[in-house]
Structure 1
Amino acid sequence: MRSSPNQLLARVSVAHLISHLYIMTVPAMLPLLPGAMQVSFLELGVAIGVFNIVSALVQAPLGFLVDRLGAKRMLMAALALGSASFGLVALLPSYFWLLVAMGLAGLANGVYHPADYSLLSRGMPSERMGRAFSVHTFAGFLGGALAPPLMVGVALAWDPRWSFAIAALAGGMALVFVATGSALQASEKSVGVGSIKSGSAQARPLSTPIATLALLTLLFTMLSLSTGAIERFSVSALVQGFDVALPAANLALTSFLFASAFGVLAGGVLADKTERHGDVAALAFALAAVLVVMVIMVSLPPLLLAMVLALAGFLTGMVAPSRDMLVRAASPEGAEGRTFGIVSTGFNFGGVIGPVLFGFLLDWGLASGVLWSAVGFMVITTFIVLYQERRQRVRAAVSAG
């Protein structure tokens, strides 16, 4: 690859890393914030829900603005707004300002995917596109994995407001890095395969059946709920309901998140080697569900707990490329972007429902219910992907016949 595509990928990936760091900033500190802010888990769940509601509402309109105003300009604005949001909580550490900040951060979050994919699709060589998307996704997972040790470590060493300050500083540094990237500007001016496909998508209607869109949106919602239960609430659940020390619970979550990131890379290789993407995703999630049941039913020492959740994280991370291939297979040619934009709102639906549900369970002393919920959503996910895989095979057989 030429230096320009490498620089482009590095800058877009850093922005994606920051976006996932921000998604996990408040969830990572859930065990500490009730005492620091004098709020309940349910109230914190509402704050996380605000983030996802705003993201769901603005994602499509911001996608149009990305096309109109330019992806680099919008990406820089998102980094600036996200950084300012968490800087606001550092300066004014109250629940009211947390709600305001989560709304603003949710607005910024709606920019990242349309801007990132626009820049990559126009600036990366077509023969490297799949691996570029894989690196981009890996960077996002890595950002989420960095949040627990960074946010909790700073909060324990000083104060939670300093964790918010560190998050703001990280966004500011990323903004400087992105702003100095001439490769991003060049990608916006190029007219390559990605831009041609985008124009093709605008010229033809989205003809994916409504039932398929609904099923895939439900799939994304279940994915959000199942992994969100672990990513955002497992530490509080383990501490409250399973007598796990906070450092051990935090280590287990960090292991899950880092393993998820590397699972994405492994899943990308596997997705290129098979056409049975639904079967791959179903098997991975079924095995992950078994591992979470083990965590619930067996009292595991800290190191073994971290290893079990790391394996579960690796399996759930492997699903991401196969998930995307399922969406691509269900999309009409030239309309993949809009199809993905529609079904990915399922992540936001899950992000609204999950925090309120899991916060309620913790407030009522039902910590094990958080992990059992994760298992239940994983089982539902398994059946959905198997059903969608079967639908795709039937459709392919009909088309071939």
Structure 2
Amino acid sequence: MTAVSATNATLPPLRQDAGVIGLVGLAHLISHFSQLLLAPLFPWLKDALNASYVELGFLMTIFFVTSCAVQAASGFLVDRHGPRPVLFAGLALVGTAAFGFAASTSYWMMAGFAVVAGLGNGVFHPVDYTLLNKRVSAKRLGHAYSVHGITGSLGWALAPALMVPLAIAYSWRVALATAGVLAWAVLVVLLSQRHQLALPRTAPAQSHSSKAPEATFDFLRIPAVWMCFAFFFVYAVVLSVVQAFAPEAARHLHDVPVALVAGCLTVYMVCSAGGMVLGGFLAADPTRCEKIVAAGFGMAAVVALVIGLAPLPALAIPVMFGAMGFASGLAGPSRDLLVKRSTPENASGRVFGIVYSGLDIGQAVAPLLFGSLMDHGHYTGVWLGLVAAQALLITSAFNVRKARRTALAPA
């Protein structure tokens, strides 16, 4: 048997890999969906709870701070107990939080269920990447990361598309209760297919060894892990600016009609998903992932610079958002491979938990800086800050490679 035929013989069936990728992607959709449960309903919640926008925004801060803490800790649970029970618990908590939001009669009840929602959301990245890394064949991993990113973007797009029409037609409580039904429906689907989410059995760990506690935290000594953490912190800043401030800043700079501004983020997310499809093919060769990340975010930075400084017609702005989204999406699967290549064997949950907690921290910090720029009318400054963050992503990607090579170099 030739080497090629031997490789094909050991490659798992496409249906098997596709089943795992689809189930993990469905769970990831609910994770991103849960992050935008409340924000689209702020106009209704402001009156119902007699709360200011600052107070409503603080509900999101509670959510992301909780999610950050849980994300770092849940990776240890995933490595110890497996990803499946942790995933089921996360989905159950997200659904419970949505029903709790719907039943809330005060701001502080909302705050309490924001903690519950953060607890649920915090488990998804350590779970998802452990399942993908251990259940999907290496040759299809780039496509797995691509689908994972696409479903996340679809979750962000689904939240306002579902919640706002339901709130208009019925009430904000009906919208949130429907979100709870959706989360629990996905949980039922995953429970029915739980055999596809079971990890292969491995030899039991020698937990009685005196070195076991040290080994549990050895991954924290790897410089590349912390460089990945920094990379995702900056990535979260970029994402937060695009989602919360960039469309409005572009409206002021280029006199964009409100109707066009409302569609900019949707265009960005849809084009980002398209970029991730192509990015999945480009990520087939893991050795070039840093170059793909640099190229993607480099193109996105150029587009952002043009929007921030050049005189553009209003109709061009959604197109520019689409180009920026496609370029960023192109880098998505390779971005995840940066972490995969820095992850020690049997530490996937812990590494992805620590690294992706940078996302929550970045999304909690970015509004403070860029919100201040918006309040003071520094709309060009918002776009230049976005360009700077995208440029920093390029540098961070190559720093991850440098840190990884340093760790692998012989002493």
- Native 8 Å contact 2:299 2:324 kept in 1: yes
State the AA in 2 paired with 1:270.
L
* TM-score, normalised relative to structure 1: 0.82
Name the CA shift for 1:233/1:150 in 2 (closer, same or farther; >3 Å): farther
- Native 8 Å contact 2:250 2:317 kept in 1: no
Alignment counterpart, residue 285 of structure 1, candidates 273, 289, 297 = 297
Give the superposed CA RMSD.
3.6
- Offset of residue 360 of structure 1: 4.2
Secondary structure of the corresponding residue to residue 195 of structure 2? helix
Name the CA shift for 1:312/1:241 in 2 (closer, same or farther; >3 Å): same
Q: Deviations over 1:264-304 (max 9, x none)?
A: 22222112246333232223212212212333345655653
- Offset of residue 341 of structure 1: 2.8
Q: Deviations over 1:202-257 (max 9, x none)?
A: 86763575543333221111000011111234445456776544432221101111
The worse-fitting range, judged by mean Cα deviation, of 2-11 and 322-331 is 2-11
Mapped pair 1:176 → 2:217? no
Mapped pair 1:249 → 2:261? yes
- Measure, in 2, the Cα distance between the counterparts of 1:56 and 1:133: 21
The worse-fitting range, judged by mean Cα deviation, of 96-105 and 237-246 is 237-246
The worse-fitting range, judged by mean Cα deviation, of 68-77 and 305-314 is 68-77
Q: Deviations over 1:317-359 (max 9, x none)?
A: 2222222233334444554553333222211210221233344
The within-5 A match list for 1:302-381 is 303-332=315-344, 335-366=347-378, 369-381=381-393
Pairs aligned (count): 393
Q: Which residue of 2 aligns with 1:17?
A: 29
Secondary structure of the corresponding residue to residue 236 of structure 2? helix
Q: Which residue of 1 aligns with 2:178?
A: 166
- Offset of residue 9 of structure 1: 3.1
* TM-score, normalised relative to structure 2: 0.80
Segments of structure 2 that go 5 or more residues without pairing to the other structure are: 1-12
The worse-fitting range, judged by mean Cα deviation, of 99-108 and 162-171 is 162-171
Segments of structure 1 that go 5 or more residues without pairing to the other structure are: none
Secondary structure of the corresponding residue to residue 276 of structure 1? helix
Name the CA shift for 1:339/1:84 in 2 (closer, same or farther; >3 Å): closer
- Measure, in 1, the Cα distance between the counterparts of 2:36 and 2:266: 11
- Native 8 Å contact 1:45 1:355 kept in 2: no
The worse-fitting range, judged by mean Cα deviation, of 207-216 and 252-261 is 207-216
Alignment counterpart, residue 62 of structure 1, candidates 48, 58, 74 = 74
- Offset of residue 70 of structure 1: 5.1
- Offset of residue 4 of structure 1: 5.3
Structure number with greater Rg is 2
The within-5 A match list for 1:1-400 is 1=13, 5-28=17-40, 39-67=51-79, 71-92=83-104, 94-125=106-137, 127-155=139-167, 159-181=171-193, 184-185=194-195, 187-188=197-198, 190-191=200-201, 206=218, 209=221, 211-238=223-250, 243-273=255-285, 275-298=287-310, 300=312, 303-332=315-344, 335-366=347-378, 369-389=381-401
The worse-fitting range, judged by mean Cα deviation, of 90-99 and 48-57 is 90-99
- Measure, in 1, the Cα distance between the counterparts of 2:204 and 2:285: 25
- Measure, in 1, the Cα distance between the counterparts of 2:125 and 2:253: 36
